[in-house]
Amino acid sequence: MSDIPVPGTDELYFLPLGGTGEIGMNLNLYGHAGKWLMVDCGVAFGEHDLPGIEVVMPDPDFIVERAGDLVGLVLTHAHEDHLGAVPWLWPELRCPIYATPFTAALLRRKLVDEGLQETPEIREIPLGARLDIGPFDVELVTLTHSIPEPNAVVLRTSAGLVVHTGDWKLDPDPLIGADYDDKRLREVAEEGVLALVCDSTNAMVPGEAGSELDVRAELEELIGKFDGKVAVACFASNVARLESVIRAADKNGRRVALAGRSMHRIWAAAREAGYLKDLPPLVDVRDIGYLPDEEVLLLVTGSQGEPRAALWRIANDDHPDISLGKGDTVIFSSRVIPGNEKSIHALFNMLTERGIHIVGADDRTVHVSGHPCRDELTQMYQWTRPEIAVPVHGEHRHLVAHAELARQCQVPQALVGRNGALVRLAPGPAEILDQVHSGRLLLDGDILRPVDSPVIRTRRRMVVNGAAVVTVVIDAGGTLLTAPRVSAGGLYDPEEEVEVTEAVEAAARQALHALSRHDRHDDRATAEAVRIGVRRTLQRELGKKPVVEVQVIRMSE
Does position 376 have pLDDT exceeding 60, yes or no? yes
CB environment 488-513: b (16+ within 10 A), e (fewer): beebbeeeeeeebbebbbebbbebbe
CB environment 161-181: b (16+ within 10 A), e (fewer): bbbbbbbbbbbeebbbbeebb
SS3 (DSSP) at 468 = strand
Give the integer Cα–Cα distance in Å for 162 and 388: 9
Does position 511 have pLDDT exceeding 60, yes or no? yes
SS3 (DSSP) at 171 = coil
Give the integer Cα–Cα distance in Å for 44 and 417: 19
Residue 113: per-residue pLDDT: 86
Per the CB < 8 A criterion, the answer to whether 403 and 415 are in contact is: yes
Range of weakest confidence among 268-282, 306-320, 331-345: 331-345
Residue 189: per-residue pLDDT: 98
Range of weakest confidence among 35-44, 88-97, 174-183, 450-459: 450-459
Instruction: Name the strands in the sheet holding 195-199, side by side, starting at the edge strand that comes first in the sequence.
Output: 130-133, 136-142, 151-157, 160-164, 195-199, 388-392, 413-414
Mean pLDDT of 202-225: 96
Mean pLDDT of 543-552: 88
Residue 461: per-residue pLDDT: 77
Q: Where are the alpha helices (DSSP H) in 318-450?
A: 341-353, 374-384, 396-408
Give the integer Cα–Cα distance in Å for 430 and 392: 15
Residue 54: per-residue pLDDT: 76
Candidate ranges 180-184, 445-449, 488-492; pick with highest mean pLDDT:
180-184
Does position 47 have pLDDT exceeding 60, yes or no? yes
Residue 456: per-residue pLDDT: 77
Mean pLDDT of 526-532: 92
Per the CB < 8 A criterion, the answer to whether 97 and 120 are in contact is: yes
Contacts with 464 (C-beta within 8 Å, 6 or more apart), sequence order? none
Q: Which domains does the chain have, with CATH numbers?
A: 12-207+369-450 (3.60.15.10), 212-359 (3.40.50.10710), 466-555 (3.10.20.580)
Give the integer Cα–Cα distance in Å for 10 and 31: 11
Per the CB < 8 A criterion, the answer to whether 537 and 503 are in contact is: yes
Mean pLDDT of 533-538: 91
Candidate ranges 242-256, 491-505, 518-532; pick with highest mean pLDDT:
242-256
Give the integer Cα–Cα distance in Å for 20 and 212: 27
Residue 52: per-residue pLDDT: 67
Per the CB < 8 A criterion, the answer to whether 340 and 304 are in contact is: yes
pLDDT category at 531 given cuts 50, 70, 90 is very high
Tens digits of per-residue pLDDT, 160-191?
999 999 999 999 999 999 999 999 999 999 99
Residue 1: per-residue pLDDT: 53
Residue 285: per-residue pLDDT: 95
Tens digits of per-residue pLDDT, 274-314?
999 999 999 999 999 999 999 999 999 999 998 889 999 99
Mean pLDDT of 445-462: 80
Residue 481: per-residue pLDDT: 87
Residue 242: per-residue pLDDT: 96
Q: How far is CA 441 from CA 17, 58, 80, 307, in A?
A: 12, 6, 15, 22
Residue 308: per-residue pLDDT: 85
pLDDT category at 51 given cuts 50, 70, 90 is low
Q: How far is CA 68 from CA 36, 65, 93, 95, in A?
A: 9, 8, 8, 9
**Most distant CA atoms of the chain, gap in Å:** 89
Residue 497: per-residue pLDDT: 83
Q: Where are the alpha helices (DSSP H) in 411-497?
A: 454-465
Does position 334 have pLDDT exceeding 80, yes or no? yes
pLDDT category at 495 given cuts 50, 70, 90 is confident
Candidate ranges 27-41, 339-353, 494-508; pick with highest mean pLDDT:
27-41
Per the CB < 8 A criterion, the answer to whether 480 and 459 are in contact is: no
Does position 143 have pLDDT exceeding 70, yes or no? yes
SS3 (DSSP) at 91 = helix
Number of H helices, E strands in the chain: 15, 29
Residue 332: per-residue pLDDT: 96
Kindly report the average pLDDT of the chain as a whole number. 93
Mean pLDDT of 356-364: 93
Residue 557: per-residue pLDDT: 56
Per the CB < 8 A criterion, the answer to whether 382 and 185 are in contact is: no
